[in-house]
A and B are shown apart, each in its own frame.
Chain A
């Protein structure tokens, strides 16, 4: 009996300690501050992607028998910040080896519209939004049929290419310093001084503003703020002229002068509709009549890079103090990019 006492005590002790431990755990966990429920602000204007496209792993299948139907599935995602709308659709053209593939057909869906050309379709897809920070996507399904292989051939490797031609734009909104005393002659503290602004993370589009170099040009009793805007093609394709961008997808004689071209507009504070709030950019765009529109800058990329010089129309009095002002850069362009998938066409085994 006496021998049992320590065991009973031990069990009793254990039974008490466990509930105490439980209560303690509940209090500790309960009192731990819950992670902040404040939603993190999403900046959709980040990144250097526009549309991205990829073929499904099994469509086209890696191997297809001759003279048989097979599916093609293309997943197109808008990873940029610009939404391609129904009114200004993107074009998708498929390149096939006509000797080996025939009867190509695009299956029409809500956002995919086929055309009279078998290998051309149009679609629209929204870009990144605060409620969908990943960007929207559209799945394009197509069907095709392989032709008969040559009698001497057992198999043939074929390639399908998908080319996307779409309108896109890059918008950069930033705050610049209008420094009326660049030389720092005037005494006293300045709210800011003009210095280079570097943008490394893109603006949610394949064409990105990478740097803005401010220059305050003295003109009599005023300064004229001028900005060197450096632009780069950071995407996997090429910019094309926004006018007739889709013809890059289907016209074999597409104008070579339209390649690597974009237009730029720069705005300072003020109503965008007012001419005064738009900066004068050089080189400027010539309209169809040959007249120069100096409010639209022309970007002609060389080695995927270019810069443009944009200047305030009116000067700022030197007597006023430095201040911070918004600057908005809008670049409009068409963008062309391609992907390819390989597959084997083989003859079925015959006994």
Chain B
């Protein structure tokens, strides 16, 4: 009798459990674009395990080839499906391998035969609501050791993978526009003018702070931009200087410059400045970063306010574009196998 009662209670408990879990509403996994626009990375390249192998044994006359495989992951939010070409960035950039003696190692991309990889051809769409992880792709390099030129028993180079890619940062915080900031009459306002702190926007360059100041004739925004990705930011149009074997090298004037594509409230472009190049005051220009941080002041004149006398909120869209350079390295050992077992008369370090 007791057993029967126990079984009944247990069955009831089970049914209850099924009902509770079965009827609970499914969690909405769809994230908004604002939820996606987080993170401090853009394109992240990493060497795949054992490609290249840690030690490469080579022999005179043998096919001394090896593979170098890199995994690319777009951990940022550029480009979005409506950006670029079919959601892929046009003229994204290139990935180069360097750090080795070209007399000894020959490296070429498998597909193109070029000593670099064109990232534009890779499926590296940015994180989006439909692909919250971002695009992933691989680069295959075919390596060959030229043993005739290897006159030592052991050579220990470090392969340095440098990716230089075009990237965008978009920040759209809500700002408060108060047409009557010095009003003496106490009226209820929907918002008040305050500084806004931002963390990051799913890109290696982030808008970290907007300090707002409402004046009688204009509203002024000091926009602070920071390099949060751990790499180097390069001025657009200096992509070719990333090539480690190229004829020109990056100099100080090419780095730490971010292009402010636009700063708009509503659809009204703001006048910003001071810019590092060209017109000091403009709607578009280069922002110089000092120690990884820079700022620019943008202003909205009273004439461009909305047709209202009371304070209102509006999104301030800040769009930055730049070339970002990151590196990753992998140490390898190339060991030359000698025919004989006789010591000496060959050499090692």
Show the binding face of A for B, using Cβ within 8 Å.
43-45, 80-83, 126-132, 135, 169, 171-175, 178, 185-189, 191-192, 199, 203-204, 267, 269-272, 277, 317-328, 330
Alpha-carbon distance A331/B133, docked complex (angstroms): 58
Q: What is the CB-to-nearest-CB distance from B242 to chain A, in angstroms, rounded to a whole number? A: 9
Alpha-carbon distance A12/B134, docked complex (angstroms): 70
Give the chain A neighbours of B246 by CB distance below 8 A. Answer: 319
Contact A129 B160 (CB under 8 A): no
Alpha-carbon distance A270/B347, docked complex (angstroms): 16
- B186 proximal to A (CB < 8 A): no
Contact B152 A187 (CB under 8 A): no
Alpha-carbon distance A186/B254, docked complex (angstroms): 10
Give the chain A neighbours of B104 by CB distance below 8 A. Answer: 269, 325-326
Alpha-carbon distance A142/B237, docked complex (angstroms): 82
Q: What is the CB-to-nearest-CB distance from A219 to chain B, in angstroms, rounded to a whole number? A: 17
Partner of A324, one of B100, B245, B247, B255: B100
Given contacts A187-B252, A189-B327, contact A324 B158 (CB under 8 A): yes
Alpha-carbon distance A126/B99, docked complex (angstroms): 38
Alpha-carbon distance A330/B345, docked complex (angstroms): 10
Contact A187 B101 (CB under 8 A): no
Contact A330 B347 (CB under 8 A): yes
Q: Besides the contacts A191-B329, A323-B98, what 13 more A-B pairs have beta carbons closer than 8 Å?
A: A45-B344, A82-B343, A127-B343, A127-B344, A135-B343, A169-B344, A186-B250, A188-B232, A192-B99, A203-B347, A271-B148, A319-B247, A324-B156
Nearest opposing residue in chain A for B343, CB measure? A129
Contact A126 B342 (CB under 8 A): yes
Give the chain A neighbours of B232 by CB distance below 8 A. Answer: 187-188
Can you give 22 A-B contacts (C-beta < 8 A)? A83-B343, A127-B344, A129-B343, A172-B347, A173-B347, A174-B152, A175-B156, A187-B252, A188-B162, A188-B327, A269-B104, A269-B151, A319-B246, A319-B248, A319-B249, A320-B245, A321-B99, A321-B160, A324-B101, A324-B155, A326-B152, A328-B151
Range for the number of chain B residues in contact with chain A: 35 or more
Give the chain B neighbours of A130 by CB distance below 8 A. Answer: 341, 343
Nearest opposing residue in chain B for A197, CB measure? B349
Give the chain A neighbours of B162 by CB distance below 8 A. Answer: 188-189
Give the chain A neighbours of B250 by CB distance below 8 A. Answer: 186-188
Q: What is the CB-to-nearest-CB distance from B188 to chain A, in angstroms, rounded to a whole number? A: 52
Give the chain B neighbours of A270 by CB distance below 8 A. Answer: 103, 149, 151
- B150 proximal to A (CB < 8 A): yes
- B53 proximal to A (CB < 8 A): no
Q: What is the CB-to-nearest-CB distance from A299 to chain B, in angstroms, rounded to a whole number? A: 17
Q: What is the CB-to-nearest-CB distance from B325 to chain A, in angstroms, rounded to a whole number? A: 6
Contact A126 B343 (CB under 8 A): yes
Q: Mark B242-283, 1 if CB is under 8 A from A, else 0.
A: 001111111110110000000000000000000000000000
Show the binding face of B for A, using Cβ within 8 Å.
98-104, 148-158, 160, 162, 232, 244-252, 254-255, 325, 327, 329, 341-349
Given contacts A173-B152, A322-B99, contact A191 B345 (CB under 8 A): no
Q: What is the CB-to-nearest-CB distance from A1 to chain B, in angstroms, rounded to a whole number? A: 48
Contact B101 A269 (CB under 8 A): yes
Given contacts A83-B344, A187-B232, contact A320 B151 (CB under 8 A): no
Give the chain A neighbours of B102 by CB distance below 8 A. Answer: 323
Contact A328 B152 (CB under 8 A): yes
Give the most central of A81, A83, A172, A321: most B CB within 10 Å: A321
Nearest opposing residue in chain B for A171, CB measure? B347
Give the chain B neighbours of A320 by CB distance below 8 A. Answer: 244-245
Give the chain A neighbours of B249 by CB distance below 8 A. Answer: 186, 318-319
Alpha-carbon distance A247/B158, docked complex (angstroms): 48
Alpha-carbon distance A313/B11, docked complex (angstroms): 89
Alpha-carbon distance A30/B102, docked complex (angstroms): 51
Contact A272 B344 (CB under 8 A): no
Minimum-distance CB pairs A-B, first 9: A171-B347, A191-B99, A173-B152, A81-B344, A129-B343, A321-B244, A82-B344, A174-B349, A173-B349
Q: What is the CB-to-nearest-CB distance from A185 to chain B, in angstroms, rounded to a whole number? A: 8
Alpha-carbon distance A320/B102, docked complex (angstroms): 11
Q: What is the CB-to-nearest-CB distance from B117 to chain A, in angstroms, rounded to a whole number? A: 17
Give the chain B neighbours of A81 by CB distance below 8 A. Answer: 343-344
Alpha-carbon distance A58/B8, docked complex (angstroms): 100
Q: What is the CB-to-nearest-CB distance from A114 to chain B, in angstroms, rounded to a whole number? A: 26
